[in-house]
Structure 1
């Protein structure tokens, strides 16, 4: 994509998310937003991946699954709904307990600290993701063409996991467009650390309703790596640029 195409894509995604928020009854907003986000991500990656090397990611490979994961409120709330459903079917200790245990070990760690701590995602079972259908954009956006290099990185013999630029690109555009639309609608639009925010959401059955009413939820779990004022200003600039003649309306 060239710069103009980036702007047009961002504006179209932002506008689509806004239309979902405006058109849906409250109970449908979260699943509809994320159906759009996940479908857009998968479809656009597939469309632009022609001619690229195949992905090395397979079930059982969890090299990247000890990285810090950040997500928007809708992603957290959808995951919480899914975890509650899964745990209602379980006879023994459920996923919520795993989340709480992982949060105890990872809370407050930055990206580097999280990698060094070697704490794997609480949703892994024998290398497979227990919430795969509702995994956040951050997880969908981290993919690699080189399994050997991923294994070396996980073992500490290589600095960083060699990620697919295409996946990172669409994850960033779609997630930022979703955040911009949430902000436009007066909803909490920041990013949250997954373990901590999900643990809080699982303890609070009313979190979705309060978020939909415009309340700022899980402030202690909010990611503070990027200044909110800077992001808000960037979204405002993109809104102006995205509305130029020839671009899809926001």
Structure 2
């Protein structure tokens, strides 16, 4: 059954998702199919609950936001690695080269540094994402109401970019619920810099098996803007709140 967000009760939505994700992880422990089922649930839930946002101007051919740092969970990274391995030899080789170049250039940059560096996502071709169906929640959750503001921001102009709060909120709730379920089920649950983590996944063919066995295979690419300890504390606090209690302050779910 699809989990629906009413826009009001963040706690109930988070807990329902958390329960669903735990069921997937417990019913299919250490199995290759776990990743596909988990990510399919995440993406389907996000898309169905953000589809009604009005006024979003994002469209194919506009890749202004595709120069920012992307934080992704291990299942999302492993899904993209699968896509790359199944691509044609020429396409897969070219994408791996791009990932390597951007990783070398931007690995040690923070979020602002990455944006100002001009290093565009390796998956953008003629303004289009070549892994669109497998793009992470971070990409799905960044939706703008003003295309020109995005262009200006990318060019270094100081301006406010109006973005969809619904997309941000649903993305955070879905991602954080998956992280909390992964943590409580014995899996590495952090968020990782996408390009660096993909380098690890593509270099280490056993990375998927390692993650399924509970290893933090992408630890070297871990993003620590918020410490794992603080995130774990937040997840535990949220799980302890009754579903009818007031939702926590805005930002509690952001990673």
Partner residue, 1:79:
80
Partner residue, 2:60:
59
Distance 1:175 1:30, change over 3 A: same
The 4+ residue runs of structure 1 with deviation greater than 6 A are: none
SS in 1 for 2:142: coil
User: How far apart are residue 94 of structure 1 and its match?
Assistant: 2.2
1:146-182 per-residue CA deviation (whole Å, 9 max, x = no partner) reads: 1111111122223354321111111111100000000
- Correspondences of 1:159-174 after superposition (within 5 Å): 159=159, 161-174=161-174
Aligned length: 238
1:68-127 per-residue CA deviation (whole Å, 9 max, x = no partner) reads: 000000000001000111143x36842111111110010111011111111000111111
Contact 2:24 2:34 in 1 (8 A): yes
Q: 230-239 or 63-72: which moved more?
A: 230-239
Partner residue, 1:31:
36
User: How far apart are residue 24 of structure 1 and its match?
Assistant: 2.5
SS in 1 for 2:87: helix
Alignment partners' CA distance in 2, 1:219 and 1:237? 25
SS in 2 for 1:65: helix
- Correspondences of 1:37-48 after superposition (within 5 Å): 37-47=42-52
**RMSD of Structure 2 on Structure 1 (CA):** 1.7
TM-score (normalizing by structure 2) = 0.89
Contact 1:57 1:144 in 2 (8 A): yes
Partner residue, 1:154:
154
Partner residue, 1:114:
114
Contact 1:11 1:242 in 2 (8 A): no
User: How far apart are residue 23 of structure 1 and its match?
Assistant: 1.8
Q: Structure 1: any 5+ residue segments left out of the alignment?
A: 246-250
TM-score (normalizing by structure 1) = 0.91
SS in 1 for 2:32: helix
SS in 2 for 1:163: coil
Task: Choose which of 16, 27, 51 in structure 2 pairs with 1:12.
Answer: 16
Alignment partners' CA distance in 1, 2:41 and 2:105? 33
